[in-house]
Amino acid sequence: MPQTTIEGLSVYCEGDEAHQAIIFLHGFPFDASMWDAQIEELSDSYYCVSYDIRGLGASAVDDGQFTMESFVDDVETIVNRLKLKKPIICGFSMGGYIALRCVERLSDTFSALVLCDSVANADGNEAKLKRASILKRITQEGLEGFVEDFMNVCFSQAYKLSQGHLLQERITLSRTFSPIGVKGCLIAMLSRTDTTDFLPHIRIPTLLCCGEEDTITPPKVMQAMCDAIPNATFQLIENSAHVAPMENAKALNQALSEFLKGL
Ligand code: MLT
């Protein structure tokens, strides 16, 4: 995929730039390649832009001090540099936290919003303490054990059995990331604002997708988010836990294509 670097971010652009742009934001601790199946499907008709979130993948780690706000600044920089006109913003999990805050902060920039396996609420005390213990673990042990344990919670049992080699490749890739960058993302997530009150004010068409076995961002939480957004549709993705874009790319792509056709 053609790669370009924008202020230290590794950005990938696929398709005809005259087409409607979609900007894809990956989750934690993934990189832009988690969207490969969606970009392959959509890049004949859409200008697909993805990037490695700062601190992860091939993007710069800098000082490793990130906030959700600095992640939104990065999206704004990409949109401006690539001169994207009213892009659709599509975020998975942590990428969804960024996408939702982008829509709240950069009003009028985007024409539609897609949230996959993501939530609007900020971390409560329990989640903050869990992140603190992960930060400590990574400081003491590095990424090896954490990445394996975390990925095992993300993916369904069925995916582990049938696509175990792909999961192993993903674990191997994420273990190569910078521990400082990974910890920076954890701190950005635990310090993010809560966007729940903003949901009724979203004025653009919104699609929410959630794996039926997702225990990290559960379907009933996403259904409630959908109910709070004026022009939103909820799609449950069967045979998937947290990582619907990878675990059931076919169903996710179908939901995404139908939503895009309706815009
Ligand atoms: C993700 O998949 O991006 C993470 O599970 C998000 C989180 O830890 O809150």
Residues 26-35 pLDDT 10s? 999 999 999 9
Output the pLDDT for position 1.
84
| SS3 state at 249 | helix
Tens digit of each residue's pLDDT (9 = 90 or more) over 12-64:
999 999 999 999 999 999 999 999 999 999 999 999 999 999 999 999 999 99
How many beta carbons lie within 10 A of that of residue 152, not counting itself? 12
Residue 71 has pLDDT above 90, yes or no: yes
Nearest atom (ligand 1) to Cα of 95: 3
Nearest atom (ligand 1) to Cα of 150: 5
| SS3 state at 71 | helix
- In this prediction, residue 177 has a pLDDT band, given cuts at 50, 70 and 90, of very high
What's the rounded Cα separation, in Å, for the pair 181 and 185? 6
Tens digit of each residue's pLDDT (9 = 90 or more) over 153-175:
999 999 999 999 999 999 999 99
Distance 19 CA to ligand 1 centre (A): 30
What's the rounded Cα separation, in Å, for the pair 254 and 96? 19
Indicate whether residue 216 lines ligand 1 (CB < 6 A): yes
What's the rounded Cα separation, in Å, for the pair 67 and 7? 16
Tens digit of each residue's pLDDT (9 = 90 or more) over 195-238:
999 999 999 999 999 999 999 999 999 999 999 999 999 999 99
What's the rounded Cα separation, in Å, for the pair 255 and 235? 7
Question: Cis link prior to 230 (omega < 30° from 0)?
Answer: no
Exposed e or buried b per residue across 215-237, where buried means at least 16 C-beta atoms within 10 angstroms of its C-beta: ebbbbebbeebbeebeebebbbb
What's the rounded Cα separation, in Å, for the pair 176 and 144? 9
Indicate whether residue 27 lines ligand 1 (CB < 6 A): yes
Average pLDDT of span 172-188: 98
What's the rounded Cα separation, in Å, for the pair 144 and 39? 29
Indicate whether residue 159 lines ligand 1 (CB < 6 A): no
Residue 66 carries which side chain, given as an amino acid letter?
F
Q: Of the candidates 113, 104, 117, 119, which has an alpha carbon nearest to the alpha carbon of residue 206?
A: 113
Output the pLDDT for position 206.
98
Indicate whether residue 93 lines ligand 1 (CB < 6 A): yes
Nearest atom (ligand 1) to Cα of 27: 3
Which residue is listed with tokens 């005259």?
A: 18
The stretches of 30-156 forming alpha helices (DSSP H) are 36-42, 68-81, 94-105, 125-141, 144-154
User: Which tokens go with 192?
Assistant: 């993010």
